[in-house]
Amino acid sequence: MSYHSTAVYYQRVNAAVAARLGGHRSAPLIIGSVDFQTVRDFQTAEDWDGAGEYLADWACRLEKAGAEGLLIATNLMHKVAPAVEAAIAIPLLHIADTVAAAARGRGLARLGLLGTAWTMREDFYADRLARHGIEVIRAADADADLADDVIFGQLTQGQVTLAARAALLGITERLGLAGAEGVVLGCTELDLVLSEGASPLPLIDSTAAHTAAAAAFVLGEEAPAA
């Protein structure tokens, strides 16, 4: 939920709508840009009830402002998606549903999961992918810790280093050795540092999948997946 990935979301949704409609067209968006430190405090305290209430409050504000659909522009905070959905009447476009659709479109059914330690270790994300027939290959605990350190130590603060890229590519390679056919970039900051051309495995970019689904929703071309 850092502003770095929020900016990418804004650019990509607008670019997709402009490419589809041409001219000066852009996407009608209402953005709730939260103070990421507040979210981070909930995370480090593992106060998920508090985090759910915080994001649900923001979701209600967006609905009252006229939003017809909602995105949570982060993978990890979909851990509290049920609390957000319960607070609103508009549909939530769940990021894992869009990732599963992108994977199926490329014929990938066994995916490694790269993201924060919570996303990589817990079931909330893997179970959502499993609804769509996607098997998740889990990384070793040491690799989950390494990815978490890179994400929160660098990427959410807008820092990109060669060492970080090398560390994440190493995790990707080990997921492949464990049987993954591709790897989910399961953090919306990961595409700041990783790209398909440099990866040993196909990458399913959650940011790209989510923003493409958002643009389709804006254009009336796609309904949220169940």
**DSSP-assigned letters across all residues of 13-59:** HHHHHHHHH-TT-----------HHHHHHHHHTT-HHHHHHHHHHHH
38, two tokens: 């507040």
Mean pLDDT computed over 52-65: 98
Q: What order do you get walking across the sheet with 203-205 strand by strand?
A: 135-137, 110-114, 182-185, 203-205
DSSP-based three-state secondary structure for 131:
coil
211, 185 contact by CB (below 8 A): no
Say which DSSP state 111 is in.
Answer: E
pLDDT tens track for 117-166:
999 999 999 999 999 999 999 999 999 999 999 999 998 888 888 999 99
Mean pLDDT computed over 164-189: 94
Residues in the chain, total:
226
94, two tokens: 């769940």
Domains, the chain: 3-94+208-218 (3.40.50.1860), 95-206 (3.40.50.1860)
The span from the CA of 30 to the CA of 12, in Å, is 15
pLDDT at residue 225 greater than cutoff 80 = no
Mean pLDDT computed over 201-223: 92
145, 117 contact by CB (below 8 A): yes
Q: What is the pLDDT of residue 226?
A: 43
Which amino acid is it at 59? Answer: A
pLDDT at residue 224 greater than cutoff 80 = no
Q: What is the pTM of this model?
A: 0.92
Residues classed as catalytic = 74, 187
The span from the CA of 150 to the CA of 3, in Å, is 17
